[in-house]
Amino acid sequence: MFRLDGKKAAVTGSGSGIGKAVAHLFAKQGAEVHVIDLDEAAAKGTVEEIQQQNGNAVEQVCNVTNQSEVKEIFSKIGGVDILVNSAGVSHVGNVENTSEPDFDRLYNVNVKGVYNSIQAAIPFMKQKKKGVILNLASIANNVGLADRFAYSMSKGAVYAMTLSVARDYIHDGIRCNCISPARVHTPFVDGFIKKNYPGKEQEMFEKLSKSQPIGRMAKPEEIAHLVLYLCSDEASFITGCDYPIDGGFINLNN
């Protein structure tokens, strides 16, 4: 079950974190994985690790905010069967202290980047009359998170785009879903804590971990397994849905 043999998969932001875990799992399940990342060294590192495990992976250096770059990459790949939009950035702040440059940065990567990738992939999927798109949204779609104004805006847009694409292309054999993780322990989280809470790293890590009722952050691999299911043929009846993967955050945090 959940094999991806003979399928091409593009995973944005797969030089690290959740995207990297997805790329590894997809390759393990037989897919030809295109590792798309702005960081050339990170993309190369993911590809080398996959190849060392006898997986099939190709490095694609690309800025997802640049539409012409994205279209060129997908034309070069020759279309994909699966697109996972994992590239994203975060920001801490409410509406008053979120600067215009920070707002634009969140919009450009988290919203426009997803739009660019979907727009580039859809024509190839339409030709095949099949395809799967999986977007990384967030629990911020569903609940109010303190000091996450721009981030919540961007992930709410991802959720809305997911529904729209699912509706518009259902008769082209294209499925589109999203998942909404709570906190996931990635290098990004470690860097965020180190930058914003110097000297209190362990204390803040424990505090953030315990904000999930289950008592810890998710592992990237746990997120990747849900992504694999939704992108597999076993999930062929699922489209237009958002799946929280949150350690009980949405429903049990009251």
Between CA 165 and CA 181 the distance in angstroms is 21
Q: 36: which 2 tokens?
A: 């798309």
Q: What is the DSSP string of 139-206?
A: GGGTSPPTTBHHHHHHHHHHHHHHHHHHHHTGGGTEEEEEEEE--B--HHHHHHHHHHSTT-HHHHHH
Nearest to 252 by CA among 222, 217, 212, 216: 212
Q: In the chain, how many H helices and how many E strands?
A: 10, 7
In this predicted structure, what is the pLDDT of residue 122? 98
The residue extents of the domains of the chain are 8-181+221-243, 185-217
pTM of the predicted model as reported, rounded to 2 decimal places: 0.96
pLDDT band for position 196 (cuts 50, 70, 90): confident
For the cut 90, the answer to whether the pLDDT of residue 253 exceeds it is no
State yes or no: pLDDT of 195 exceeds 90.
Answer: no
Residue 97 pLDDT class (50, 70, 90 cuts)? very high
Strand order in the sheet with 82-85: 56-61, 32-37, 8-12, 82-85, 131-136, 174-181, 242-245
Over range 95-118, report the average pLDDT: 98
Q: Which of 107, 115, 151, 159 is catalytic?
A: 151
Residue among 178, 133, 132, 177 at smallest CA distance from 155:
178
Asked whether residue 227 carries a pLDDT value surpassing 70, the answer given is yes
The Cα–Cα gap between 61 and 64 comes to: 9
Mean pLDDT of the chain: 96
Read off the tokens for 41.
């060294």
Six token digits for residue 92: 């801490």
Q: What is the pLDDT of residue 187?
A: 87
Give 243's strand partners.
179
**Using one digit for the tens of pLDDT, what is the confidence trace for 145-161?**
999 999 999 999 999 99
Phi, psi of 64 (to 5 degrees): -65, -15
Calculate the CA dihedral of residues 180, 183, 187, 193 and round it to 10 degrees: 140
Nearest 5°: the CA angle 5, 44, 17 is 75
Q: How many CB atoms lie within 10 A of CB 50?
A: 22
Angle CA(79)–CA(229)–CA(64) in degrees, nearest 5?
A: 40
At residue 132, the 3 state secondary structure works out as: strand
Give residue 254's pLDDT band: very low, low, confident or very high (50, 70, 90).
Answer: low
Provide the CATH topology of domain 8-181+221-243.
Rossmann fold (3.40.50)
- The predicted structure's pLDDT at residue 221: 98
Residue range 11-34: mean pLDDT, rounded: 98
Q: Are 179 and 235 in contact (CB under 8 A)?
A: no
The pLDDT of 87-106, averaged and rounded, is 96
Mean pLDDT score, 81-96 = 96
- Say whether 229 is catalytic: no
| For the chain, percent of residues with pLDDT exceeding 90 | 95
Counting residues of the chain whose pLDDT is more than 70, the rounded percentage is 100
Strands 131-136 and 82-85: what pairing? parallel
Spatial distance between the Cα atoms of 204 and 196, rounded to a whole number of angstroms? 10
pLDDT > 90? residue 5: yes
